[in-house]
Structure 1
Amino acid sequence: MSGFPLYQRHDQAFGSQYANVEQGAAAQPRVLVGAPGTIVEHNRGNAVYYYRQFMDAEGKRQQLSLGGPKGDAEADERVAAVAAQIEQAKDLISRIRELAKLGFQIADNKTYATMAVLYNHGLFQAGAVLVGSHAYAVLLNSLGIKAIAYETEDIDIARARQLALQNLPSGGLLDILRETGIDFVPVPPFNRGDPPTSFKQAGKTRFHVDLLVPSKGDTFPTVAVPELGAHASGMPYLAYLLGQSHMGTLISRHGAVPVRVPDPARFAIHKILVSRLRTNMLIKSQKDVQQACVLLAMLGEHRSGDIELACSDLPKSARTLVRRALPEVQRTLEAHEGALAEFEEGLGV
């Protein structure tokens, strides 16, 4: 077969650098939202109070009160802890800058802030999963490969079952998202009277967060997510994608945050499946297949057995849809015979 390789592998040393960033991100007690910034002091009457001064997700200077007065043991201890977080975050950012030069996928600052508040409230730890193109970027980094990235202003968060969460704000998911400093508002649903399942930044922007849950069959219902005080869009075959997941790390120029992402083989196969459901969205369908084939190529050549295992768990009703995409997958995987062979064998072709 001819064709061009779909990816390049990072040097092993660079993969080790990324692994060190992952370890540093996981060691953070909480993730700072926005750039790390610095500690500043302000006089209030005869006392001195502490603030964290930083640039937010939109590049605006902010000050967050850390309390006081200076000399109070509890306040000084709190400030010392935040100062340690700032230094830890700055160390991570210095290493992330190097990874960016080497072709690792770097998230934008608004996406990072959104992931940070979700992580700080325990969503990923409780089982929520980042899906979509941002998850693809995390998977590329964790697999140690370079490939074409796709810019997106969509953030897709999914959950398979009710999340065990504590101490959430009274406004639920919307209040959590607003902790980013971004003015999120509910997106009016297509059908008037239905509850919203998506939140966007107010104004002329396309930046938004979609909440997703599995649906039964091929329906797209609106489903209540009571633990988040929100509703979600039901998606066919999403349960398959969420059946296997693990913690990864999203990196940006503001820091690094642990996130939960799907198993890469399931992600790839689900992308192919979704491409057949997007019957009126040709460009997105092509992007889905391209992303899927990049992951299939890497897994087939360096993690033998992963594709076959993921195929074995694919629901029978989904196999027909996946097989419809086979001609496009065959063309895209032209330079990766082994990966294509494992995929075809997994589907029983």
Structure 2
Amino acid sequence: MNGFPIYQRHDQAFNSQYANIEQACAAQPRVLVGAPGTIIEHKRGDAVYYARQFMNAEGKRQQESLGGPKGEPAAEEYVTAVRLQIDEAKDLIGRIRELAKLNFQVADNKTYSTMAVLYNHGLFQAGAVLVGSHAYAVLLNSLGIKALAYETEDIDIARARQLALRGIPSGGLLDILKETGIDFVPVPGFNRADPSTSFKQAGRTRFHVDLLVPSKDNTFPIVAVPELSAHASGLPYLAYLLAQSHMGTLISRHGAVPVRVPEPARFAIHKILVSRLRTNMLVKSQKDIQQACVLLAMLGEHRSGEIELACAELPRSARPMIRRALPEVSRALEAHADAFAELEEGLKG
């Protein structure tokens, strides 16, 4: 075997710690947005009302009303439940800090808060999928491996079909995103008449959320997403990626949140496809190949058969693009011959 391994496995004990966090996280019907914080009391006239005081994604103090008045049974029951949720979140954060020291992938606070509001509104439960580099980080953790991480300020959310959602605010996705405490604004389209398919934090920052849907062909159309009062960018072969997904866990120093992510083999193969679709974006294309190969290496060595199965359902029109990328993939997988052999075999069908 030549070359150097492109990933390492975490010790089984640490993977068990992560699995315990996943289990605790999945039991949350709703997650706290921002740091857990504490419960405080406000006096209004002769009555006392409750609020949760916490640090938001940008490190600013924020308050969330918990109702009242103090002593009213329903209010006391709700505050007791929130206090328990705060204690559980603080316990999770303590365990996450330990995993962060061991090179598990930990998201930044703004990404966590964004995922939290999307989860609280039921997007991931309804079928929306986190894709891109943040999904890659979730997959690395769930597979129990560590590899070079890529810092990104992009959040990519995709959906294959209309989401069955309830209680969406009148402003749709933009209003949901603003629940983070971050001042999101629509990003103008490339052409002035085009609707926005992306939302960014106002000011001199690149932090943004892109909405994606499958394209019916090799074009990149703008498609209405009526259930979110928004529009999305169409992406070729995205339907292949979204056809199989599962719930995973995104961890951060503010807590943990369940998110839906693609199956790792499809994610890897789609990353290779995306690297061929990008034009004049060499750095991003190289990142796509590297992420794909890390996952392929692990799957080829420890979950034999998954790469070949994912290749079997790859659209025939996509196969020539994958084959053109094989020399670059082969170099990246120099130390992982089993994975490359399974990929080559899968593409013969």
The separation in 2 between residues aligned to 1:166 and 1:66, in whole angstroms, is 22
**Counterpart position of 2:274:** 274
Q: Any residues of structure 2 matched to 1:179-218 within 5 Å, and which? A: 179-218=179-218
* Structure 1: 4+ residue segments shifted above 2 A: none
**Counterpart position of 1:329:** 329
One-letter amino acid matched to 2:204: K
1:124 maps to 2:134 = no
**Counterpart position of 1:232:** 232
Shift of 1:264: 0.2
The separation in 2 between residues aligned to 1:306 and 1:88, in whole angstroms, is 36
The separation in 1 between residues aligned to 2:68 and 2:165, in whole angstroms, is 30
**Counterpart position of 1:54:** 54
Structure 2 unaligned blocks of 5 or more: none
**Counterpart position of 1:258:** 258
- Quick one: percent identity of the two aligned structures? 83
Shift of 1:207: 0.2
How many aligned residue pairs are there?
Answer: 349
**Counterpart position of 1:14:** 14
One-letter amino acid matched to 2:24: G
**Secondary structure, aligned partner of 2:40:** strand
One-letter amino acid matched to 2:93: I
**Secondary structure, aligned partner of 2:160:** coil
The separation in 2 between residues aligned to 1:227 and 1:62, in whole angstroms, is 29
The separation in 1 between residues aligned to 2:46 and 2:166, in whole angstroms, is 39
One-letter amino acid matched to 2:291: Q
**Counterpart position of 1:304:** 304
The separation in 1 between residues aligned to 2:130 and 2:109, in whole angstroms, is 16
CA RMSD after TM alignment: 0.8
Shift of 1:279: 2.2
Deviation per residue, 1:75-127 (Å, 9 max, x gap): 11111111011011111111101110111000000000000000000000000
The separation in 2 between residues aligned to 1:70 and 1:216, in whole angstroms, is 56
Q: Any residues of structure 2 matched to 1:86-97 within 5 Å, and which? A: 86-97=86-97
The separation in 2 between residues aligned to 1:43 and 1:128, in whole angstroms, is 41
1:243 maps to 2:261 = no
**Counterpart position of 1:2:** 2
**Secondary structure, aligned partner of 1:205:** coil
Deviation per residue, 1:293-335 (Å, 9 max, x gap): 0000000000000000000010000000111100000000000
**Counterpart position of 1:112:** 112
**Counterpart position of 1:28:** 28
TM-score by structure 2 length?
0.99
